[in-house]
Structure 1
Amino acid sequence: MIHAQLPITKQPTNPLELFTFIKRLIGALRPAATAAPVPVAPGPRIYSRSEHSISRTLISDHALKVLYRLRKAGYQAYLVGGCVRDLLLGREPKDFDVVTDAHPEEIKAVFRNCRLIGRRFRLAHVHFGEEIIEVATFRALTREPHDEHVTEGGRILRDNVYGTIEEDAFRRDFTVNALYYNISDFSVIDYVGGMDDHRKASLRLIGDPEQRYREDPVRMLRAIRFAVKLGFTLHPSCAEPIHRLAELLRDIPAARLYDEIVKLFLGGYAVQTFEQLRHFRLFGSLFPETESCLARESGGFPLIFVAKALERTDQRVQEDKAVAPYFLFSALLWEPVRSRAEARIAQGENAVVAYQEAASEVISRQARHTAFPKTIGIPMREIWVLQSRFDKTQGGRPFRLLSHPRFRAAYDFLVLRAETGEAEPELAEWWTRFQSADEAEQKAMTRTGRKPGGKSRPRKRRKRPPVATA
């Protein structure tokens, strides 16, 4: 019994193509008895150009070039996923993804400007200057019952089994992400009812939701991100299992979760995303110490502080301003750091040392859940430690702090603390005025300084020891 019919689109003309052809032929001859059944579908619903709003003029020229060149080489090629979904919503896609029946090595043979990446998912990146068009091969639904690339819990570790466009559609996560744009006749191909869900603004998983979450628990985070970003409603069948399966995120590699968190909170919808993550008990799997602090918040803090930081992040994204991930992570982890540092200070430890030690402890523990690169961890630590130095407003210390390369970020952090009642507003105002003052005024300010409560106090002069006389 033949596992799948091998589409022969062209005759192999060189050793590489012959080798690839033989590999595909062997795969096609595998017995189907050991493979999982493919869902029976009545066939795709094809929406002609007059039935949808996608215009070829809105598609990247480089994406069109990839599509046409693959077709000219004898392969199938379609736009798929988020770019099709966003085009239907009238949005400008961030990326254009292509899917094809060509295998990665065959794609590389077509494009000189191509690099193959990934082990879990083998992909081809076609480079056009700064723009990269990602090209993937159709994924198969079939998998051996005891495949070594699947954990006992059902999570997929590696997935390079290739199939047909129909199998590829059923392998995708959400129905609205499984729509294919056909450049040959400008139609949209829909195998899973994605167009209907698109019109209903409903986010629905393909297949059994619990099984799909177990295959890849990160889909729970993607469900929240897409629902918030698109303004869609999470289908009840997709929402129900999340509360029960949230703990599965703890088995995901920490480096991968870091990437997902950046997408969650730096997309311009951080406040709503935070609320949904907490509602579905996912936030605690990402930031367990912060969640613990939120559970015992006093007078609205630290919830107000975190919400304000997320609100500020959204505002900067909407204004098309740069957003530093380290600042956001500093805010999300501030309360665990602050509480640890204050406990050390209460035991008589120096404030700067206390914050340094607390920062090291929190970063070390958080790294088990999200692996920060050094470009994130070092600035976070500096922002936290500098908070204890803002109280020193006399003598030369303010000038030294002002020249610190991380001063601006630390100052913004102080202002955020003051706005939410966690730091003295007068202290933040003093530093705001100090930055814009001329040299004479700055010297006058540092002679007076400020003390807790916002009251001025003169700088204490050190008494010189008496000069010894012979």
Structure 2
Amino acid sequence: MLTRQQEALPLQPVVLTRDQHGISRRQISENALKVLYRLNKAGFEAYLVGGGVRDLLLGRQPKDFDVATNATPEQVKQLFSNCRLVGRRFRLAHVLFGRDVIEVATFRGHHHQVNTNKHISAQSSEGMLLRDNVYGTIEEDAERRDFSVNALYYNIADFSVLGFAGGLKDLEARRLELIGDPETRYREDPVRMLRAVRFSAKLGLSISPRTEAPIRELAPLLSDIPPARLFEETLKLFLAGQGLETYRQMQHYGLFAPLFPETAEVMGRGNNRYGRFIELALANTDERIAQDLRVTPAFLYAALLWGPVETRTQEFVNDGGLGYHDAFMLAADEVIGRQVKTVAVPRRFSTVVRDIWQLQDRLTKRAGKRPHRLLEHPKFRAGYDFLLLRAELDPRLKELAEWWTDFQAANPVDQKRLSQVATREQDEEQDEAAPRKSPRKRPRRRPRRRRET
């Protein structure tokens, strides 16, 4: 982190005039422009900031447009009737246009500053910021941003781009550079380590040596982050279209285990099958996102936690003497119960995770009318897709997966035939598995004794 003497010095930006960059107002959302123009008209500084500017300079279309200003949240709220103030750690103004939300943040100052008419920041004993509502100038705001490629500002007043901390140069070099001392910045907010790998995977940027150096050592600090916040972060990590590359980088830097300790433990026993299964699931998710198909966190979490639940089920069967169903239910409760203490998976998703897991056993039962009933299960498709992924790594499941593929596409007559064949095969398997009874021996007859005459 910069010293107080350095913080006192003005951070001079590199300025690109309107004709020196390729950003056009046509690329910026209409609602973001409304916010920028109204702030500017009211006499405040107004900038499009961070990822939106970064992505536009990279030729990408941003998903979100964030605004930075010298107006306080309360002043923003006075300008916009469709505004609400949110956040305690970071006080923000959300300007609502239906489902579109434009986030407006006041320029942030340095943590040590105390201002009698502004909130004061607070830090934990580990250096993590607990409250951070100290306001400052655009130069101070730029120093407070995490990565140099995010310290970019598009000025609505003259349509120029301001790049602080070498951000424009780093963007051109495709390099991810943390602003300030990396260890201090990671301790302030350990989630920055996750953001580093996410931006690297998403934008194809290489993490600089000084930025990556402390990550492995500080990765355990993620356990101090509230589980609810980590759930939101996992969605950004794995459901943005670069989930597989993000996962590999998380494993490389030791960031996966703090978020998914039981999964990491199972894979650490030398069973790499579950690691390959997670990679397969993430590759499938990335492909669906690229095709603009629907994805759900439930399917992702079912894959991420399948290793622990399958392992624990087998342990309960072998050591506890439980039947498979009881062992599975106990294992599912235990694995999900432990996981939510690290990453708070909402019940609406954990319930679907259980459905997907339970369907794996039910899909093996194809006799009689069961297949038709399973087709009507609301989560059948997710369970079937999960089975297809498992079959790619387990040849024993290939026939089962192909049977369900054929059954769904078949007409009623062929469905009946497939079900009859499956019933016969299942009966034969049960007969083979049943212990053979030895033939019953008839009791030997005693010879009749002759009557003596």
* Map of 2:87 onto structure 1: 118
* Map of 2:389 onto structure 1: 416
Q: Aligned-pair distance for 1:422?
A: 6.6
Distance (whole Å) between structure 2 residues aligned to residue 79 and residue 72 of structure 1: 15
* Map of 1:316 onto structure 2: 288
* Map of 2:297 onto structure 1: 325
Q: Does 1:137 align with 2:109?
A: no
* SS of residue in 1 equivalent to 2:301: helix
Distance (whole Å) between structure 1 residues aligned to residue 395 and residue 253 of structure 2: 28
**Residue identity in the other structure for 2:51:** G
* SS of residue in 2 equivalent to 1:424: helix
Alignment of 1:13-28 (within 5 A): none
**Residue identity in the other structure for 2:193:** M
Deviations 1:412-456 (A, max 9, x none): 1111100111751001111112222233333333333269xx888
* Map of 1:372 onto structure 2: 345
Q: Aligned-pair distance for 1:144?
A: 5.6
Q: Does 1:301 align with 2:273?
A: yes
Q: Residue 277 of structure 1 is aligned with which of 250, 255, 278? A: 250
Distance (whole Å) between structure 1 residues aligned to residue 429 and residue 222 of structure 2: 55
Distance (whole Å) between structure 1 residues aligned to residue 253 and residue 28 of structure 2: 36
Q: Residue 29 of structure 2 is aligned with which of 45, 52, 60? A: 60
% of aligned pairs identical? Answer: 52
Alignment of 1:39-188 (within 5 A): 39-41=8-10, 43-143=12-112, 149-188=122-161
Q: Residue 391 of structure 1 is aligned with which of 344, 360, 364? A: 364
* SS of residue in 2 equivalent to 1:207: coil
Deviations 1:92-136 (A, max 9, x none): 111111011111111010011111111111111111222111111
Q: Does 1:211 align with 2:211?
A: no
CA contact under 8 A between 1:209 and 1:238: conserved in structure 2? yes
Larger CA deviation: 251-260 vs 50-59: 50-59
* Map of 2:235 onto structure 1: 262
CA contact under 8 A between 1:395 and 1:459: conserved in structure 2? no
CA contact under 8 A between 1:308 and 1:420: conserved in structure 2? no
* SS of residue in 2 equivalent to 1:189: strand
Unaligned runs of 5+ in 1: 1-34, 461-470
* Map of 1:426 onto structure 2: 399
* Map of 1:226 onto structure 2: 199
Deviations 1:123-180 (A, max 9, x none): 11111222111111011114269x7721011100111111111111100000010111
Distance (whole Å) between structure 2 residues aligned to residue 442 and residue 99 of structure 1: 61
* SS of residue in 2 equivalent to 1:38: helix
Distance (whole Å) between structure 2 residues aligned to residue 280 and residue 385 of structure 1: 34
Q: Please state which structure has a larger fraction of its residues in helix.
A: 2
Distance (whole Å) between structure 1 residues aligned to residue 325 and residue 113 of structure 2: 57
CA contact under 8 A between 2:107 and 2:138: conserved in structure 1? yes
CA contact under 8 A between 2:182 and 2:214: conserved in structure 1? yes
Deviations 1:392-411 (A, max 9, x none): 12123323222211111111
* Map of 2:317 onto structure 1: 345
Larger CA deviation: 345-354 vs 99-108: 345-354
What CA RMSD, in Å, does the superposition of the two structures yield over aligned residues? 2.0
Question: CA 1:273–1:423 in 2, change beyond 3 Å: closer, same or farther?
Answer: farther
Unaligned runs of 5+ in 2: 115-119, 432-453
CA contact under 8 A between 2:366 and 2:419: conserved in structure 1? yes
Distance (whole Å) between structure 2 residues aligned to residue 63 and residue 42 of structure 1: 27
Question: CA 1:397–1:344 in 2, change beyond 3 Å: closer, same or farther?
Answer: farther
* SS of residue in 2 equivalent to 1:127: strand
Segments ≥4 residues shifted beyond 4 Å: none
Distance (whole Å) between structure 1 residues aligned to residue 427 and residue 240 of structure 2: 43
Q: Residue 193 of structure 1 is aligned with which of 166, 169, 173? A: 166
Distance (whole Å) between structure 2 residues aligned to residue 42 and residue 144 of structure 1: 17
Question: CA 1:144–1:36 in 2, change beyond 3 Å: closer, same or farther?
Answer: farther
CA contact under 8 A between 1:342 and 1:354: conserved in structure 2? yes
* SS of residue in 2 equivalent to 1:449: helix
Q: Aligned-pair distance for 1:197?
A: 0.6
Distance (whole Å) between structure 2 residues aligned to residue 420 and residue 414 of structure 1: 10
Question: CA 1:53–1:169 in 2, change beyond 3 Å: closer, same or farther?
Answer: same
Distance (whole Å) between structure 1 residues aligned to residue 17 and residue 121 of structure 2: 42
Distance (whole Å) between structure 1 residues aligned to residue 395 and residue 131 of structure 2: 46
Distance (whole Å) between structure 2 residues aligned to residue 450 and residue 162 of structure 1: 71
Distance (whole Å) between structure 1 residues aligned to residue 396 and residue 104 of structure 2: 50
CA contact under 8 A between 1:249 and 1:285: conserved in structure 2? yes
CA contact under 8 A between 1:448 and 1:457: conserved in structure 2? no
Question: CA 1:265–1:167 in 2, change beyond 3 Å: closer, same or farther?
Answer: same
CA contact under 8 A between 1:36 and 1:143: conserved in structure 2? no
Distance (whole Å) between structure 1 residues aligned to residue 237 and residue 220 of structure 2: 18
TM-score norm. by structure 2 comes to 0.89
Question: CA 1:292–1:449 in 2, change beyond 3 Å: closer, same or farther?
Answer: same
Deviations 1:64-101 (A, max 9, x none): 11111111111111110000000100111111110111
* SS of residue in 1 equivalent to 2:384: helix
Distance (whole Å) between structure 2 residues aligned to residue 41 and residue 148 of structure 1: 22
Distance (whole Å) between structure 2 residues aligned to residue 358 and residue 379 of structure 1: 16
**Residue identity in the other structure for 1:62:** N
Distance (whole Å) between structure 1 residues aligned to residue 26 and residue 365 of structure 2: 59
* Map of 2:334 onto structure 1: 361
* SS of residue in 1 equivalent to 2:123: coil
Distance (whole Å) between structure 2 residues aligned to residue 148 and residue 126 of structure 1: 24
Report how many aligned residue pairs link the two structures. 422
Deviations 1:158-215 (A, max 9, x none): 1111111111110000001011111111111123111111111110011000000000
Distance (whole Å) between structure 2 residues aligned to residue 60 and residue 130 of structure 1: 13
